[in-house]
Amino acid sequence: MRRLLLLLSALALLAGPARAVQPGEVLKDAALEQRARAISSGLRCLVCQNQSIDDSDAPLAKDLRVLVRERLVAGDSDRAVVDFVVARYGDFVLLRPPLNARTIALWAAPFLIVLIGAAFLWRRRNRSLAPANAALTAEEQARLDELVKRGDG
């Protein structure tokens, strides 16, 4: 039983990600198919959003895979195919959007979140240390002395 579990685990690790490309979509020309796979692996599924169109089973992803292949068969370059899809759907369709004025917030957001979190933690730490370093007023010291005397008595 243990060997079977080990074998199944090894097979699961060796298995690559499942591809959603259907056999009917595959181009007969291996070079064109390889180009199509390279392009579609960089395009985001607009339905799933965290998968490439190559990995998604969504109908829109299938339509985009077919569109990519049609454009390649028509003679478009890889760049022309990507530009065509971006013109239709915007930079959001790219899994790696370019750095420009419209996407600067997208690229800067992780750094801003880390900086804001660090500032929050630093401020919280300094605030919690401040009372320990502060001297007592005369009134507070008198009250403390009174409480200490009661405790000894």
pLDDT in tens, 107-136: 888 999 999 999 999 888 877 665 555 678
One-letter identity of residue 100: N
pLDDT at 17: 44
Burial code (b: 16+ CB inside 10 Å, e: under 16) for 65-99 equals bebbbebbeeebeeeebbeebbeeeeeebbeebee
Out of 28-37, 56-65, 144-153, pick the least confident: 144-153
Q: What is the mean pLDDT of residues 94-119?
A: 87
Q: By three-state DSSP, how is residue 55 classified?
A: coil
pLDDT at 78: 92
pLDDT tens-digit profile of 36-45?
999 999 999 8
Task: Return the closest-CA partner of residue 69 out of 113, 99, 28.
Answer: 28
pLDDT at 81: 93
Question: What residue segments make up the domains of the chain, in order of their start?
Answer: 15-93, 104-152
What is the CATH number assigned to the segment(s) 15-93? 1.10.8.640
- Which is higher by pLDDT, 141 or 153? 141
Calculate what percentage of the chain has a pLDDT beyond 90: 27
pLDDT at 86: 92
In the predicted structure, residue 55 carries a pLDDT above the cut 80: yes
